[in-house]
Amino acid sequence: MMRTLPTELGKGNRGGRSGGFLCRALLAMVIASPSLFGQATTSTGNLPRVVIPTSNRPTSPVRPVQPGNGILYPWRHNITVTVFWVGEQPTQNNPTPNHKSSWDQEWAINFGGYDDPDPGARIADHRTGEFRPKHFTPRLNPFYIALPYNDVAGWSRHKPEAAKVIPWFARMNPAPGKTVLKGRWVQIYDGKRSCYAQWEDCGPWVTDDWEYVFQGKPPKNRNNKAAALDISPAVRDYLGLQSGKKCHWRFVEAAQVPYGPWKKYGQTTGAAGPASTPGAADPDAQRRYLEYLRKLRDEQYLNKSKSDLENGR
């Protein structure tokens, strides 16, 4: 019957008002109660449902944007390095003892001990990613450096030029006298390999050379072949870079630092990001580090010769 409705409606319109009235009445009855004409009632379960949100939660997670992640800082080229270490005693070439740093009065204690530079007292293995002292596990990052500038002039104030010359100073918005340099990451390149380290002390020799550190001018210091970057034993061992040699370096943002031996030990502090408990395990960092070790293993396997594989080496 429903299939003939359009035809009947057409006849009624052409034949007169009474037929049209009956057809319109019949159609109204069908719409109002289709069950009267043998049509099954439509289930409300098949109707489109409208969901009204009851909270202001976003429909998908929003990842926070880290300021500065896209910044590429300029390289400082052909800079002479010297090796220094936590707990170093004063010498003619290094008149300042290193049991404390410019920003940490208990540096050696917080590090966990004496960072012995003697190769015989160290682990340096690219296969496992271990670069540290043999006799203890450091509680701070063993990949550290010093640059010849200190941004604070005491516990309550910064140096006058600090806010103008340090690129991330305004972003950090520090309290008076709080450094924005400690923990800042740098990339170091020796022509063959890169490594990453954190700025943890000031030197060599001077602590006011902001023109070199932030503007790329020649270093003020003329001692030790114009040395202008102190590197830790771990950096030395990873790059095979000895005192008096040259390298290139630049600042990098924390989010730009790849996972590697420089993220296995220690904590993220100061300008590098939020602090954590010294020596605390970071599950995500450990997972990333395992991925790094697997990549090293796979690369070493691919580089093996056929005879090595046949002999099980």
Task: Express each pLDDT in 229-280 by its tens digit.
Answer: 999 999 999 999 999 999 999 999 999 999 999 999 985 444 444 333 333 3
Rg of the chain on CA atoms, in Å: 35
How many whole angstroms separate alpha carbon 186 and alpha carbon 248?
Answer: 10
Query: Helix, strand or coil for residue 212?
Result: helix
Mark 167-206 as b/e (b = at least 16 C-beta within 10 Å): ebbeebebeeebbbbbbbbbbbebeeebbbbbbbbbbbbb
How many C-beta atoms surround the C-beta of residue 284 within 10 A?
A: 8
- We report the CATH number of the domain holding residue 114 as 2.40.40.10
Query: Residue 154: its pLDDT value, please?
Result: 83
Give me the half-sphere count of Cα atoms (radius 13 Å) on the Cβ side of residue 170: 4
Query: Residue 94: its pLDDT value, please?
Result: 66
In a domain, 70, yes or no: no
Q: Are residues 215 and 259 in the same domain?
A: yes
Q: Are residues 137 and 208 in the same domain?
A: yes
| Structural domain that includes position 302 | 282-313
pTM over 0.75: no
- Name the residue type at position 209: D
Q: Is the peptide bond before 119 cis (omega within 30 degrees of 0)?
A: no
- Strand pairing category for 229-231 and 194-202: unpaired
Domain count, the chain: 3
Positions in the chain short of pLDDT 70: 1-69, 93-95, 267-297, 299-301, 304-313
In a domain, 53, yes or no: no
Q: Are residues 6 and 121 in the same domain?
A: no
Query: Residue 157: its pLDDT value, please?
Result: 95
Query: Residue 308: its pLDDT value, please?
Result: 63
Q: Are residues 24 and 97 in the same domain?
A: no
Structure tokens at 223: 């001692």
Q: Are residues 175 and 312 in the same domain?
A: no
Structure tokens at 278: 């010294």
In a domain, 69, yes or no: no
Q: Are residues 262 and 288 in the same domain?
A: no
Look up tokens 């701070």; give the residue: 140
* Residue 269 Cα to chain centre, angstroms: 13
Query: Residue 303: its pLDDT value, please?
Result: 72
Query: Residue 289: its pLDDT value, please?
Result: 54
Query: Residue 262: its pLDDT value, please?
Result: 97
Q: What is the DSSP letter of 113?
A: S
How many whole angstroms separate alpha carbon 25 and alpha carbon 22?
Answer: 5
- Cβ distance 10 to 46 under 8 Å? no
Query: Residue 27: its pLDDT value, please?
Result: 46
Query: Residue 302: its pLDDT value, please?
Result: 75
Average pLDDT over all residues of the chain? 78
Query: Helix, strand or coil for residue 95?
Result: coil
